[in-house]
Structures are given as C-alpha cells and as structure tokens.
Amino acid sequence: MATLLQDAQCVVERDGRYEVVTQHVLISDGRIAAMGDEAATAVAARGAEIVRARERLVVPGFANLHGHCIQSLQRGIVAAAPLELWLLLVSSSRGLLTPRDYYVSALLSSIERLRTGTTAFINLALSGEFPDEAAARETFRAYDEAGIRATLAPGFVDLSYTECLPWQDELIPEHLRRPTTPRTAAEYDALFALLDRLRVEFHGRSDDRLRLAIGPSQPQRCSEELLRRTADYADRHGLVIHTHLLESRMQVLMARTGRWGSFVEYLDRTGCLGERTSLAHGTWLSEAEVQLVTDRGAWLVHNPIGNLRLGDGIAPVARYLAAGARVAMGTDGCSSCGSVSMLDGLHAAAVLGNVGGADHTEWLDQHDVLRLATRNGAAALQFPDAGTMEVGARADLVLYDLRDFPFVPLNDAVEQLVYGGHRAIVDRVYVGGELVVRDGHLTRVDEGAVYAEANEIAEKLRRDFPNVQARAAELWPAIERVSDRAYNTIGPGRVNLLW
Ligand SMILES: [Zn+2]
C-alpha cells in the first residue's frame, strides 16, 4: 500500500544543514519513492492513501544507539550513584526476571521509543554473564509485534566484576573479591552456538527490521579469547559489535592499572574495532584513543543524560567530531537516564556541546545533533539507506504536529525540535513504510495491556529491592573507596580534559 504525505513540511539536509521544504512525499514498497511534484503524479498510478500533512513536520526517525530495554521496568527504583556503585543495585534483580518479563519490557520500551520519534535502536540486553536464549527470543518477538526497527545485542562477559577494579588488593577486603572462574572451550562454543541460532532465526527478518548484533558488554570484563572469538564471529556474518567504552573515571584507571592497557587498543588488537563497531559513552578517551577509533572507522555513541546522572562527566563531542570521529547518539536505559526519549538527549547534547571549549564557533548546534541522531545513527546500525529524507531511502519517518506549543510560533522548526521538542506531539510514525503510530498511539500494540503487565512485574522488583540493597551493602563501602579515589585521581572536572 502506497501513501502520499501531501504538502508535508519535510526536514531535508542540504550542505550539512537541515531546512524545511514543503513538498509531497510518496511512500511505497517501504521506501521514499518520490518527492515533490513527481510524487503527486505517481499517486494516481499507485492508488495511494492521501495524508494531508501541511501542518506536520516530517523528520527521519531517530536511531538510538545505546540502551537496555529491561531497565524500562526499573524506572524510578534505583537512585543515582557513581557507575560502579549503581551497578551493584541495577543488575541484581535479574534472577527474578522471566522471559515474559523481557517481552513486556521490550514492548514497553518500544512504545516509548516510537511515541517519542525513534524508529530504530540497539538494545544491549544484559541477562547474566552469558545470554538467556529464551529471554532473547521473547525480546525479538516483542520488537516484531511493535513494528519497530530493532537490533538486539545479547550481552556477555567472562571476567569477574571485582577483579577489574583498580587498587583491588589495597581497597577491597580479600573475602569480598570474587575471582574469575575460567570458562571452558565448550562453554564458549555454546555461547556462539546460541548466538548462531538467534542469527539464523531472526537476523534480517520482517523486511530486515530485526537484526542481531554481538554484545561483549564491556571490554574490561571480556577475556582476550572471548573478544577474539567475538571479532571472528561478527566478521564472518557481517554483524555489528556493540559495547560500553570508558564511561567512568574508574575505567580510565582500570585501563592504567590492569591487564588490558588502553581499552581501545585492547579492542583493536583483538579485532573488535572496525566500521561495524559502536562504542557506547566514550566519555574518557585520550587523544590517541580517539585517533585510533577514527582510523578504524568505529562509532562513538554520545549518551549525555545517563552520563550526567551517574556523574560520569561530559564527553567532548565537538572535539571528537573535529578530530574526524564518527559519532552517533543514544540514551542508555531508563535506570540511568529516566527515559529513552531521544528528544531529551538531543536537547542535552546541543546545550552541553557548549561546555569546555572557549571558542563558540565550535559549539554544537541543532544541525550537528540532528545529524548524529538520524543519519549517523542509522549508518552506525548499518542502515546507510535510512535516517534521511531523500528518494530511495527507507521510509522510517516521524510526523510531528506543528499546531502545538513547541512549534508555536513557528520560527525555525529544526531549532525548535532540538531545543524544545521534548513535549512535541508525535502524530504518526512510519517504519519501513508501515504506519506503526497513528494519532499518537501504536497501531499494533495494546498499550494499556502492556502498562498493566509492566506494573505487575515492577511490583515484584520493588518488593525485592531491599534484598538487592542488602546484598550490595557488603561490597558498597569498598567500592565507594575505589570510586572516591578514582574521582580524586582523575579530577572532579565534568569534561574530559585528558587531551
Ligand atoms: Zn549502558
């Protein structure tokens, strides 16, 4: 079924800047088939549905390059703390979660994403040291039902949490250190066999809406053997590798004091740093590390709000871009940043892009951040034919209502979207040409039923939270000591000034 967006206010990119052009847009076979007068003449031939769009801003859907859908069930439970302390609280209810809970979290997250203008994203799914296959299957099923473009990276690690900490011999009491139990070759084989079953069943399914990525969750918690096998498997099948990188100050010190050396060099020497690699956070890279990431064509993913909430600092994105790095945008999960709305993240990225640099001509503006969140994000997900409004591109499009206050008066729609669009009304969303949000609600999902089930699951998590806190209490003072020393060693400055 073809659709004509008649007289739409289209956000198109010209010479690095976005501008609004009033024109018709014909959507057919999942793509933007024609624009302008040509679209109108093609309509009769294709029998398209006509949508009057003169009062709609049509923007390529955002691509959210970092997040954890399961955290949508934990919204509001875990208070802010430095990353390594916060991790003690955020992951330890996992044993209670069923595959059905993962399904519900994936639907809940998809509702929020689609209704705030995101059409594509990656979920680094953390369900234990190695992935839970049933949870991954249920997650894929939810994305398929919601109609969103989703890449699932089932996460894994094989080194212990305490073993990675700096100064562990000095600051972590011996009885609290958990040494790594080495994995056997058979266990690694089983991990990649699991990933392969998921790949065969889901990768490329539903008109290429669903994809599998490989998720070594953090380089410092993955052995060389595991990363080499990751790189080999991802290369063989052309899959994205997605990982966290240098999010906190403590990770800089882990790299300096631990077995890895530079995490970026570690990823590179194991074969994990390439054009299909996306690196979430990247707050604390040195100049040489940015250069290596840039040389390899890997993607840095800016997550400004999650970084601020956990006190990680501000990634110097303007400098990364000036160095030639490829940068996309993400939110992280709801436990760290409260929302998976990219509009909040765009606003934060745009205003934080002014911090740290004396030269105002290097500040980020609405054009820069919109590009990171659309065209760059789609490219990082390996959809180079998405994230733009041009003929032939995938029709992943969001229609905002221009009659509501974020756009009244209408002076500069792109600036108003980026700096004040967090309450903008999303009227319609198309993914691969299919209408998946109409009148602000999902067409394929009963939102109320999802909310009801999410509330039931959250009650289970809230009831268990005192147990989580009790388990964390033992290790908490020791991690606090390490965290404090990391702050004092690197410095409390909010912006990475390592270079
Ligand atoms: Zn994360």
Residue 443: other Cβ atoms inside 10 A: 15
pTM for the structure as a whole? 0.96
Tell me how far apart the alpha carbons of residues 334 and 56 are, in angstroms, rounded to a whole number: 29
Tokens linked to 459: 């009650």
| pLDDT tens profile 135-186 | 999 999 999 999 999 999 999 999 998 888 888 888 888 888 888 889 999 9
Distance 243 CA to ligand 1 centre (A): 8
* Predicted pLDDT at 261: 87
Mean pLDDT lowest among 129-143, 358-372, 385-399: 358-372
Tell me how far apart the alpha carbons of residues 366 and 416 are, in angstroms, rounded to a whole number: 9
* Predicted pLDDT at 358: 62
* Predicted pLDDT at 204: 98
For residue 409, cis peptide bond before it (omega within 30 degrees of 0): yes
Which DSSP letter does residue 214 get? B
Distance 412 CA to ligand 1 centre (A): 33
Distance 358 CA to ligand 1 centre (A): 30
* Predicted pLDDT at 311: 87
Nearest CA-CA partner of 146 in 398, 376, 441: 441
The length of the chain is 499
* Predicted pLDDT at 353: 84
Average pLDDT, the chain: 93
Distance 315 CA to ligand 1 centre (A): 15
Task: Assess whether pLDDT exceeds 50 at residue 499.
Answer: no
| pLDDT tens profile 323-362 | 999 999 999 999 988 999 999 999 999 999 887 666 788 8
* Predicted pLDDT at 44: 66
Q: For 224-248, what is the mean pLDDT?
A: 97
Distance 124 CA to ligand 1 centre (A): 7
Q: For 438-462, what is the mean pLDDT?
A: 97
CA distance to 245, 246, 251, per residue, from 2 (Å): 42, 45, 50
Question: Which residue matches tokens 């996309």?
Answer: 328
Tell me how far apart the alpha carbons of residues 189 and 225 are, in angstroms, rounded to a whole number: 12
Distance 10 CA to ligand 1 centre (A): 33
- Residue 62 one-letter amino acid: F
Distance 215 CA to ligand 1 centre (A): 11
Task: Assess whether pLDDT exceeds 80 at residue 41.
Answer: no
Distance 280 CA to ligand 1 centre (A): 7
Distance 307 CA to ligand 1 centre (A): 10
The separation between the first and the last C-alpha atoms of the chain, rounded to the nearest angstrom, is: 53
Distance 247 CA to ligand 1 centre (A): 9
Nearest CA-CA partner of 162 in 182, 179, 181: 179
Task: Assess whether pLDDT exceeds 70 at residue 421.
Answer: yes
- Residue 196 one-letter amino acid: D
Q: For 24-46, what is the mean pLDDT?
A: 87
* Predicted pLDDT at 133: 97
